[in-house]
Amino acid sequence: MKNPLDRLKENISSLPRSQKLVVDFILSHYNDVGFMTVEELSKKVGTSTTTVMRLMSSVGFSGYSEFQKNLQLLLKEESTPHTRLEKNLTTFSQNERWLNHYDLQLAQIQQANQINMETNLSQVESIIKKATNVFCTSVRSGLPVAQYLAHNLNRMFGNTKLTLADSSDWVDDVISFSKEDVLIVVSFARYGARLMHYADQARKNGASVVVITDKFSSPLLAYADAHLICPAESISSHNSVVSSFFLVDYLISALALSDSERVKQRLSEVNNVLTSMNYHIEKKNN
């Protein structure tokens, strides 16, 4: 079956202006449109649902649902590692790779900053500060981010646990969740279904859910009380965690500074135990 975006492009010249505006929006925002209702799409474009439905009929779809289903299949295919690698092989020459990597990561950090600013970050910080227990979870590419966050929060406050959504062990924790707890979910495309199950159960038990993800079209956002959007493109096939580490590192610092006396006391106690074990390699004086 032909790519649904290609079908729009092939027919755009014969469409009335009102439908061309819808096509322009879809082609520029197709990642988001894949998860919009027809009402949300028409509102974004500034037109009617009737115009959107007429467009779908004009380009050969039985309706918006059929178009969206095909678009979601395309998005799923585009997010596979081998597809991303194949695309990037033709995009970047060998001589340009380092500079393109640098420019891309810098741009994504700046984009993450613009999207989240202090509003989202402050909201997430407030939820974590008030929580009795914090649970961090992820699968696959998001796991290092969740692990880094869980390690540092637990070192500072002693109330954080890393749970693996790919294991069923989280079920033993989630049944005891309450409104005093928070679940932090880290997920990038292609999003893990088990993370959605975990987040859903956490919400049902009254816990707050914080989602760290890469796009506004992420299905995990449906479960979020607060979120951070961290672009995760790379010049290869993988999800890059650079911008998410940048924001998570800030969160760790902000939380430590906001409760510095408590954190200092706990870090001192932890250090005393590690010192008694000769845990660290000490530099010897000559």
Taking the model in full, what pTM does it have?
0.70
Task: Say how many domains are in the chain.
Answer: 2
Q: Is residue 125 part of a domain?
A: yes
Same domain, 146 and 205: yes
CA 229 vs CA 85, 131, 242, 255: distances in Å: 23, 22, 12, 19
In a domain, 98, yes or no: no
Is the same domain home to 118 and 199? yes
- CATH code for the domain of 177: 3.40.50.10490
Structural domain range at position 149 = 108-275
Whether residue 128 sits in one domain with residue 74: no
For residue 97, what pLDDT is reported?
A: 80
pLDDT of residue 83: 55
Question: 95 lies in a domain?
Answer: no
**Residue 69 sits in the same domain as residue 150:** no
| 157-160 long-range contacts, CB within 8 A, separation 24+ | 157/255, 157/259, 157/262, 157/263, 157/266, 158/266, 159/131, 159/132, 159/133, 159/134, 160/133, 160/134, 160/135, 160/136
How much is the pLDDT for 1? Answer: 55
Assess whether 156 and 208 both reside in one domain.
yes
- 136 and 179 in a single domain? The answer is yes
In which residue are the tokens 């975990």 written?
198
Q: What is the CATH number of the domain that holds 31?
A: 1.10.10.10
Residue 102 lies in a domain: no
Give the span between the Cα atoms of 198 and 187, in whole angstroms.
12
Q: What is the DSSP string of 10-29?
A: HHGGGS-HHHHHHHHHHHHS
68 and 113 both lie in a single domain? no
Tokens 């032909």 belong to residue? 2
Closest C-alpha among 48, 53, 59, 208 to residue 124: 208
Q: Identify whether 93 is part of a domain.
A: no
249, part of any domain: yes
142 and 74 in a single domain? The answer is no
Task: Return the beta strands (E) in the chain as ranges.
Answer: 133-138, 160-164, 181-187, 208-213, 226-229
SS3 188: coil
285 falls within a domain:
no
Q: What is the pLDDT of residue 153?
A: 97
pLDDT of residue 13: 82
- Does residue 207 belong to any structural domain of this protein? yes
Q: One digit per residue, pLDDT tens: the chain, 286 residues? A: 568 888 898 888 889 989 999 998 888 788 788 888 999 999 999 999 999 999 999 999 999 999 998 888 887 766 555 455 555 555 556 667 888 888 888 988 988 888 887 788 999 999 999 999 999 999 988 999 999 999 999 999 999 999 998 888 899 999 999 999 999 999 998 788 899 999 999 999 999 999 999 887 788 988 999 999 998 988 887 889 999 999 999 999 999 999 999 999 999 999 999 999 988 887 766 5
DSSP string computed for 50-105: HHHHHHHHHTT-SSHHHHHHHHHHHHHHHTSHHHHHHHHHHH--GGGHHHHHHHHH
Do 254 and 142 sit in the same domain of this protein? yes
Q: Are residues 246 and 169 in the same domain?
A: yes
- The answer to whether residues 74 and 147 belong to one domain is no
Task: Among 23, 56, 78, identify where a domain stops.
Answer: 78
The answer to whether residues 127 and 262 belong to one domain is: yes
pLDDT of residue 254: 95
Q: What is the pLDDT of residue 285?
A: 64
